[in-house]
């Protein structure tokens, strides 16, 4: 069979070589350029967590000692995992459910793909509120609110977080933006935006870092982040924090790399771009955030472990006190908004691609269906921060590790890691991946995911038993429920097929 690309860009080599004889084929859009794909995938992975979490996790866990643990786990776990997920997407050239159908056959196991899809939709339902916060603050930076004399940023945060209508409004604006960009397609929407937004984010963070380093007392921030406390290397908590940052900030196993990989050309490289650059590039933004945020944090005596309030209260206040604060606030909050928006596009695209393929409808209709669904589901999180916190608690502790576990077991055991490495991972690759990669996908990552879920269960059961048990119950019920839904859908399709006389 032959691939027929819908792309008409004459510079798109993926289009040209898509006529190469191959084994799995459907007509679909492709990335327009290598730079565009790299920016889109890095934009998907760089989000709010890179900017406010990476700096203080580094400082809290032994500085340099944490970074060593982090690098080891990044290269041993995250890089191989991302390679596998991207390779599977490129091989099947389909979204989540289509990929699971191709691997497991047309049976109830396809429901596992539906489980991951549901996690993505729920994740986006509350992440949209975070995008809304960043839009609101970027707007205030633009009109110069933070540089007004005697302006109280804590009061702004309080009034904003208690204003339900405003939060729903910002959630709505965020979803309208995501919808508008996704309607323009993979190349015309996601890729075009990422090609502008990621370089702007990089320049913004570099500029803020240079300004921050010139402030009196700024070096204490770098000392806090990088000073190596070797005792931490022997602590389990350091390695767990490093593992959490390496896995969750790279978005491994959520279906994003799989979906973006499905739009790659047959002979495009995966190991270097989809694996090493994605994981290391994503972390590079975390390091850039250390330079951009921590000198300012220490120069103004801000607590480095403030979480979201670090950006929305403490930093906003610090910008107001700095010379040229208008520019620095605008650069920071615009960059922060770009980071959140490109991640939101990726999470939503997982649902859009799958919906378009499964329902066999035009992309524009799939975008509208998924975005309206996410908008509706996101209203409770926009109104009540406790709901947002609960969903984040359940998904972060067990939902996303479970999704990663399912995808890695699918790659390693059901599809066969050896076959995937030969058929897809090393095809057109700029870097040959040897067979040692297979053990990481088969054993290391699934076992680590089980360990993480067990640890979070053990550590949360005492503190929040109701939250923990209810969340786990919902998650455990998701698997048989999704399998049942897929089984019923297949039975429905079979009966339609027989009624239509389609049995041959």
Partner 1 sequence: MSFAAIVVMVSSMLALWGVATLAMIYSMRQEDRKLILLKEQGDFEPFSPAAQRDIENWLARHPHGDEAQEMRELLECQRQAMQNNARHFYSWPSAGAERQ
Binding site for partner 1 (CB under 8 A): 11, 13, 16-17, 20-23, 34-35, 38, 63-64, 67, 71, 219, 222-223, 225-228, 266-269, 272-273, 276-277, 280-281, 283-284, 287-288, 418-419, 421-423, 426-430, 432, 434
CB of 281 to partner 1, least distance (A): 4
Task: Look at residues 62, 439, 445 and name the one whose alpha carbon lies nearest to residue 253.
Answer: 445
* Nearer of residues 153 and 282 to partner 1, judged by Cβ: 282
Please give the backbone phi and psi of residue 70, each rounded to the nearest 5 degrees, phi first.
-65, -45
* Nearer of residues 47 and 281 to partner 1, judged by Cβ: 281
How many residues are there in the chain? 504
CA–CA distances in Å: residue 57 to residues 193, 346, 420, 437:
30, 25, 35, 29
CA–CA distances in Å: residue 287 to residues 67, 334, 376, 443, 473:
10, 19, 36, 30, 37
* Nearer of residues 223 and 491 to partner 1, judged by Cβ: 223
3-state secondary structure of 428: coil
CA–CA distances in Å: residue 137 to residues 144, 252, 330, 375:
10, 29, 9, 20
Rounded to an integer, what distance in angstroms lies between the CA atom of residue 425 and that of residue 270? 6
* Nearer of residues 13 and 235 to partner 1, judged by Cβ: 13
CB of 481 to partner 1, least distance (A): 32
Angle between helices 96-104 and 111-142 (to 10 degrees): 160
CB of 388 to partner 1, least distance (A): 31
* Nearer of residues 101 and 421 to partner 1, judged by Cβ: 421
CB of 421 to partner 1, least distance (A): 7
Rounded to an integer, what distance in angstroms lies between the CA atom of residue 357 and that of residue 365? 11
* Nearer of residues 398 and 415 to partner 1, judged by Cβ: 415
CB of 302 to partner 1, least distance (A): 19
Rounded to an integer, what distance in angstroms lies between the CA atom of residue 214 and that of residue 296? 9
* Nearer of residues 126 and 415 to partner 1, judged by Cβ: 415
> Is residue 183 packed enough to be buried (19+ CB in 10 Å), middle (13-18) or exposed (0-12)?
middle
Which residues are CB-contacts of 387 (< 8 A; sequence separation ≥ 6)? Answer: 126, 380, 381
CB of 216 to partner 1, least distance (A): 15
* Nearer of residues 31 and 328 to partner 1, judged by Cβ: 31
CB of 140 to partner 1, least distance (A): 31
Please give the backbone phi and psi of residue 487, each rounded to the nearest 5 degrees, phi first.
-65, -45
Instruction: Provide the 10 A C-beta neighbour count for residue 27.
Output: 11
* Nearer of residues 12 and 348 to partner 1, judged by Cβ: 12
Cα three-residue angle 31-413-435, rounded to 5 degrees: 75
CB of 337 to partner 1, least distance (A): 22
Rounded to an integer, what distance in angstroms lies between the CA atom of residue 202 and that of residue 198? 6
CB of 262 to partner 1, least distance (A): 18
Rounded to an integer, what distance in angstroms lies between the CA atom of residue 264 and that of residue 491? 33
């Amino acid at each position: 069979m032959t691939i027929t690309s819908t792309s008409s860009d004459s510079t798109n080599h993926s289009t040209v070589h898509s006529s190469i004889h191959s084994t799995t084929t459907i007509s679909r859009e492709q990335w327009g350029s290598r730079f565009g794909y790299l920016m889109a995938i890095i934009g998907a992975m760089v989000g709010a967590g890179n900017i406010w979490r990476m700096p203080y996790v580094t400082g809290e866990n032994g500085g340099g000692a944490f970074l060593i643990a982090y690098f080891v786990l990044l290269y041993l776990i995250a890089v191989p995992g991302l390679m596998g997920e991207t390779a599977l997407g490129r091989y099947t050239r389909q979204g989540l459910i289509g990929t699971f159908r191709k691997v497991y056959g047309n049976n109830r196991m396809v429901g596992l793909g539906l489980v991951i899809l549901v996690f993505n939709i729920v994740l986006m339902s509350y992440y949209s509120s975070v995008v809304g916060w960043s839009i609101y603050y970027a707007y205030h930076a633009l009109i110069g609110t933070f540089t007004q004399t005697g302006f109280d940023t804590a009061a702004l945060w309080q009034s904003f977080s208690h204003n339900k209508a405003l939060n729903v409004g910002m959630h709505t604006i965020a979803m309208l933006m995501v919808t508008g960009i996704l309607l323009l397609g993979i190349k015309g929407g996601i890729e075009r935006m990422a090609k502008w937004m990621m370089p702007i984010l990089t320049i913004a963070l570099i500029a803020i870092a240079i300004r921050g380093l010139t402030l009196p007392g700024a070096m204490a921030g770098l000392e806090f982040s990088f000073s190596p406390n070797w005792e931490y290397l022997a602590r389990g908590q350091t390695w767990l924090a490093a593992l959490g940052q390496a896995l969750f900030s790279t978005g491994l196993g959520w279906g994003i790399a799989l979906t973006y990989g499905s739009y790659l050309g047959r002979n495009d490289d995966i190991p270097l771009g989809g694996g090493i650059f994605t994981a290391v590039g994503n972390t590079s933004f975390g390091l850039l955030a250390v330079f951009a945020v921590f000198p300012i944090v220490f120069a103004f005596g801000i607590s480095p472990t403030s979480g979201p309030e670090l950006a929305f209260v403490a930093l906003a206040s610090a910008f107001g006190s700095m010379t040229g604060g208008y520019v620095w606030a605008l650069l920071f909050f615009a960059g922060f908004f770009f980071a959140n928006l490109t991640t939101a596009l990726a999470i939503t695209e997982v649902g859009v691609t799958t919906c378009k393929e499964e329902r066999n409808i035009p992309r524009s209709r799939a975008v509208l269906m998924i975005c309206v669904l996410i908008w509706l589901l996101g209203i409770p999180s926009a109104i009540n921060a406790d709901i947002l916190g609960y969903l984040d608690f359940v998904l972060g502790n067990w939902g996303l590790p479970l999704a990663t576990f399912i995808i890695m077991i699918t790659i390693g055991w059901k599809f066969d890691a050896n076959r995937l490495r030969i058929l897809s991972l090393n095809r057109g690759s700029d870097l040959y991946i040897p067979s040692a990669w297979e053990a990481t996908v088969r054993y290391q990552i699934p076992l680590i995911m089980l360990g993480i879920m067990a640890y979070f269960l053990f550590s949360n059961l005492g503190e929040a038993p109701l939250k923990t048990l209810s969340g786990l119950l919902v998650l455990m019920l998701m698997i048989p429920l999704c399998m049942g839904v897929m089984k019923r859908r297949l039975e429905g399709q079979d009966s339609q097929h027989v009624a239509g006389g389609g049995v041959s």
